[in-house]
Amino acid sequence: MVQKVHADAEAALAGLLFDGMTVMAGGFGLCGIPENLIAAMRLAGVRDLTVISNNCGIDGFGLGILLESGQIKKMISSYVGENKLFEKLYLSGELELEFNPQGTLAERIRAGGAGIPAFFTKTGVGTLVSEGKEIRNFDGDDYVMERGLVADLSIIKAWKGDTEGNLIYRKTARNFNPMMATAGKACVVEVEHLVESGQLDPDHIHTPGIYVDRIIAGARFEKRIERVTTRPRDTAPGKEAV
């Protein structure tokens, strides 16, 4: 019988890693990142990675630790402004970078996972993003063709998961995780709470287990926050900057 549950991050990645591979990593900023699996990739020492992720962590945490160890060859991202080391490596030519508009990146991944090789979007028409790409007019407006994206491996963070690989995300930690789970040739998931099948309400599943090959209960979740913004208790709600 197929056993999706693995003992730890190292075991869950065993046999799936190779130099030069393409990896999708869920998360927005540090929110909803597979921090245990990223740490295991660092230990595994796999190199020349092309990493598809909205951001690249920060110095010393998240995908930033794979930058430090020189394991990343190329990033496909929408925003990388939080990372000094990224800037240094990029400006010195040690790191390749492909920017995608955030919505185009999300849709490329969704399309890749859904068996759609390309689609047309208005986003980026008339900008650097559309240079060299096919433009087609539909109903009077120009659209640029973007390709679906797939990866050798997707690493995903969910809140709850069951032994069948059914997943539930929590709040804005969902972000890119559901699409990326569909677009990796192999999909490995870490969850905060791993339960037996039957424990999750089937109506509440965000990612059905068909997309998930391996799942672990994460050993440790630091869940670092990039910008803690708070208000004093005596403020009236609804009247502060969000």
Q: How far apart are CA 24 and CA 163, in angstroms?
A: 22
Choose which of 78, 145, 208, 217 interacts with another protein (CB under 8 A): 78
Choose which of 15, 93, 128, 137 interacts with another protein (CB under 8 A): 128
Q: Which stretch in 3-11, 16-24, 125-133, 208-216 sits in contact with another protein by CB under 8 A?
A: 125-133
Choose which of 47, 82, 205, 208 interacts with another protein (CB under 8 A): 82
Nearest-5° angle of CA 182, CA 30, CA 241? 115
Q: Name which of residues 95 to 124 contact another protein (CB under 8 A).
A: 99, 101-107, 109-110, 121-124
Least distance in angstroms from the C-beta of 17 to another protein:
26
Q: Which stretch in 8-16, 44-52, 127-135, 196-204 sits in contact with another protein by CB under 8 A?
A: 127-135
Least distance in angstroms from the C-beta of 11 to another protein:
26
Does position 126 interact with another protein (CB under 8 A)? The reply is: yes
Q: Kind and range of the H or E element at 145?
A: strand 141-147
Least distance in angstroms from the C-beta of 14 to another protein:
29
Residue 10 in 3-state DSSP?
helix
Q: Which residues contact 206 (CB under 8 A, 6 or more apart)?
A: 158, 167, 168, 169, 174, 178
CB atoms within 10 A of CB 120: 17
Q: Which stretch in 6-14, 38-46, 208-216, 217-225 sits in contact with another protein by CB under 8 A?
A: 217-225
The two three-digit tokens of residue 218, written as one number: 């994460």
Q: How far apart are CA 49 and CA 71, in angstroms?
A: 6
Least distance in angstroms from the C-beta of 131 to another protein:
10
Does position 25 interact with another protein (CB under 8 A)? The reply is: no
C-alpha dihedral sign at 147, 158, 206, 155 = positive
Q: Which stretch in 3-11, 61-69, 208-216, 223-231 sits in contact with another protein by CB under 8 A?
A: 223-231
Does position 159 interact with another protein (CB under 8 A)? The reply is: yes
Choose which of 5, 73, 90, 219 interacts with another protein (CB under 8 A): 90
Comparison of 47 and 206: residue with beta carbon closer to another protein? 206
Q: How far apart are CA 180 and CA 24, in angstroms?
A: 6
> Judged by CB under 8 A, how many residues of this single chain contact another protein?
65
Q: Kind and range of the H or E element at 35?
A: helix 35-44
Q: How far apart are CA 183 and CA 154, in angstroms?
A: 7
Q: Give bridge partners of residue 153 from the DSSP assignment.
A: 23, 186
Q: Give bridge partners of residue 141 from the DSSP assignment.
A: 138
Interaction site with another protein (CB under 8 A):
28-32, 54, 77-82, 87, 90-91, 99, 101-107, 109-110, 121-129, 159, 169-179, 206, 223-233, 235, 237-242
